[in-house]
């Protein structure tokens, strides 16, 4: 098997970029995927996050584009389920194609439409897009995909689920009938096997680093914890463990609430979820990368778009809704051969579901004894919590709770006839 990028025949510009960025040794997925892609074969690749999938398709595509005459038409379309992932794919592609005069454009929601259209009209040969915004551009005839003979579906399992399938069908109908199709994902549910087969022709199938293998580089710890004690347990981990924390919660409201709690305790924390603007999401992610924030609180919408090296800990504050998201969450740590830790908070009512995840994914959680934590406060409303947080920030005691009203007097009961007045 190939071991080094120098074993492959690349143009001098691409080779210089690889050397400049110190890309020397091929990862297993790159060693297996790059040769058939360079031969023009369709590929279906299943490989865990952090194994180098983005470069596995970006490098051979950059080599092919370098050999083709420059035109102002879209030649390569790369589809991604999230904005963050699309932006990072574009950054990775431009990094390895620097100085090769290959124009790129990012087509995603939540960002300036004007700048995206400017990049397309300037002659972008590579377009990295999310399906929703791309369908909008197609409907308004702002982009032409009739000559995009190569399509990449990154995180293909999510591309092929029911949420993206209608948009995906519209997009694929706009591409040439004869095309080069590359499907990459960390997981591939058997239920989408038929759809995969309909989009590829005689593909090379590559499976590298299954969840079981990858979990060997990640310590999977679990705690059975009452719901009201989750925050205290997270604080315990933050005090006793070193490094950065990526914390996954179930909802946007939970992300904002947990961020408030952590800010109250003077932790450097940011949140990333679907209600945040793109500039806010970019700032949070970049701040987390740069170490400005030690903690990043995220929902599953961001699970596949967070590519940050050296995340020490992933915390499943809330369980994901499906096993595949568990894989994508823990895959944010233990990347590229490094060791990481995953901490999963399981309430007593969720224990059966967690055991089911273990069987489905072929993993085993190491449940630890719950440390001594403060007695959990009772559940209170969001309005009460906002008032409590504001009072604590102002260094004032919170307003006392109103005293319970005395019950109304019980009416007296009378028996017999009313006495006549004399």
Q: Residues 330-384: pLDDT tens digits?
A: 877 866 556 789 999 999 999 999 999 888 888 889 999 999 998 775 544 555 5
Residue 413 has a pLDDT of: 47
Number of Cβ within 10 Å of residue 397's Cβ equals 8
275-304 per-position pLDDT tens digit: 888 788 889 988 998 999 999 999 986 555
The strand pairing partners of 219, in sequence order, are 341
**In which residue are the tokens 């022709």 written?**
201
Q: Are residues 349 and 281 in contact, defined by beta-carbon separation less than 8 angstroms? A: no
As given in the structure block, the two tokens for residue 390 are: 């504001």
- Per-residue burial over 7-44, b if 16 or more Cβ lie within 10 Å, else e, is ebebeebbbebbeeeebeebbbbbbbbbebbbeebbbb
Residue 371 has a pLDDT of: 94
State whether the Cα torsion 154-156-160-163 is positive or negative: negative
91-107 per-position pLDDT tens digit: 999 999 999 999 999 99
* Cα separation values, 400 from 58, 380, 391, 396, 403, Å: 61, 14, 12, 12, 9
Residue 46 has a pLDDT of: 87
Residue 14 has a pLDDT of: 96
Domains of the chain by start residue, with CATH: 5-209 (3.40.50.300), 213-393 (3.40.50.300)
How far apart CA 308 and CA 285 sit, in angstroms, is: 9
Helix axis angle, 351-361 to 323-330, nearest 10°: 80
422 pLDDT tier (thresholds 50, 70, 90): very low
Mean predicted lDDT score pLDDT of the chain: 85
213 pLDDT tier (thresholds 50, 70, 90): very low
103-145 per-position pLDDT tens digit: 999 999 888 899 999 999 999 999 999 999 999 999 999 999 9
Q: Residue 70 carries which DSSP code?
A: P
DSSP 187-218: ---GGGHHHHHHH-SSPEEEEES-HHHHHTTE
Number of Cβ within 10 Å of residue 282's Cβ equals 17
Q: Are residues 61 and 76 in contact, defined by beta-carbon separation less than 8 angstroms? A: yes
Residue 414 has a pLDDT of: 43
- The average pLDDT across 22-37 equals 92
- The average pLDDT across 25-43 equals 94
Among residues 158, 151, 113, which one has the least CA distance to residue 301? 158
The strand pairing partners of 229, in sequence order, are none
Q: What is the pTM of this model?
A: 0.67
Q: Are residues 353 and 362 in contact, defined by beta-carbon separation less than 8 angstroms? A: no
3-state helix, strand, coil in the chain (%, to 5): 40, 15, 40
316 pLDDT tier (thresholds 50, 70, 90): very high
Per cent of the chain over pLDDT 90 is 56
How far apart CA 85 and CA 130 sit, in angstroms, is: 9
Q: How many CA atoms lie within 13 A of 353 on its CB side?
A: 15
How far apart CA 186 and CA 70 sit, in angstroms, is: 33
How far apart CA 401 and CA 284 sit, in angstroms, is: 36
How far apart CA 141 and CA 135 sit, in angstroms, is: 10
Whether 199 shows a pLDDT value over 80: the answer reads: yes
* Cα separation values, 104 from 14, 72, 98, 119, 218, Å: 16, 11, 11, 7, 35
Q: Are strands 180-185 and 76-79 parallel, antiparallel or unpaired?
A: unpaired
**Which stretches of 151-277 are DSSP H helices?**
156-159, 165-174, 193-199, 211-215, 230-240, 252-264
With vertex at residue 179, the alpha carbon angle to CA 99 and CA 12, rounded to the nearest 5 degrees, is 25
């Amino acid at each position: 098997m190939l071991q080094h990028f120098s074993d492959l025949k690349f143009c001098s510009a691409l080779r210089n970029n690889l050397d400049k960025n110190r890309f020397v040794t091929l990862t297993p997925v790159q060693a297996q995927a790059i040769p058939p892609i360079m031969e023009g074969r369709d590929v279906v690749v299943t490989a865990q996050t952090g194994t180098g999938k983005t470069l596995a398709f970006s490098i051979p595509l950059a080599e092919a584009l370098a050999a083709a005459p420059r035109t102002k038409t879209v030649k390569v379309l790369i589809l991604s389920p999230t904005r963050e992932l699309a932006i990072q794919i574009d950054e990775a592609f431009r990094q390895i194609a620097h100085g090769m005069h290959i124009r790129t454009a990012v087509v995603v929601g939540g960002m300036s439409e004007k700048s995206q259209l400017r990049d397309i009209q300037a002659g972008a040969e590579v377009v990295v897009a999310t399906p929703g915004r791309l369908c909008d551009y197609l409907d308004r005839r702002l982009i032409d995909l009739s000559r995009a003979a190569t399509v990449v579906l990154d995180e293909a399992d999510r591309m092929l689920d029911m949420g993206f399938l209608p948009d995906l069908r519209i997009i694929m109908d706009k591409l040439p009938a004869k095309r080069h199709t590359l499907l990459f994902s960390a997981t591939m549910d058997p239920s989408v096997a038929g759809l995969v087969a309909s989009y590829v022709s005689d593909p090379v199938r590559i499976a590298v680093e299954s969840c079981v293998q990858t979990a060997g580089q990640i310590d999977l710890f679990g705690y059975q914890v009452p719901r009201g004690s989750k925050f205290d347990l997270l604080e315990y981990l933050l005090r006793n463990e070193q490094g950065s924390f990526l914390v996954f919660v179930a909802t946007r409201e939970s992300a904002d609430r947990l961020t408030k709690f952590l800010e109250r305790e003077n932790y450097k924390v940011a949140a990333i979820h679907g209600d945040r603007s793109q500039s806010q999401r970019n700032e949070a992610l970049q701040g987390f990368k740069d170490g400005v924030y030690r903690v990043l609180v995220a929902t599953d919408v961001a699970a596949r778009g967070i590519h940050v090296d050296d995340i020490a800990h992933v915390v499943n504050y809330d369980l994901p809704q499906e096993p595949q998201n568990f894989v994508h969450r823990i895959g944010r740590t233990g990347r590229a051969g490094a060791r990481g830790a995953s901490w999963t908070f399981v309430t007593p009512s969720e224990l059966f579901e967690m055991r089911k995840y273990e069987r489905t994914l072929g993993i085993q959680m190491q449940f630890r004894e719950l440390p001594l934590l403060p007695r959990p406060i009772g559940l209170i409303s969001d309005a009460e919590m906002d008032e409590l947080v504001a009072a604590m920030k102002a260094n004032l005691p919170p307003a006392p709770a109103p005293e319970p009203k005395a019950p109304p007097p019980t009416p007296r009961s009378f028996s017999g006839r009313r006495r006549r007045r004399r």
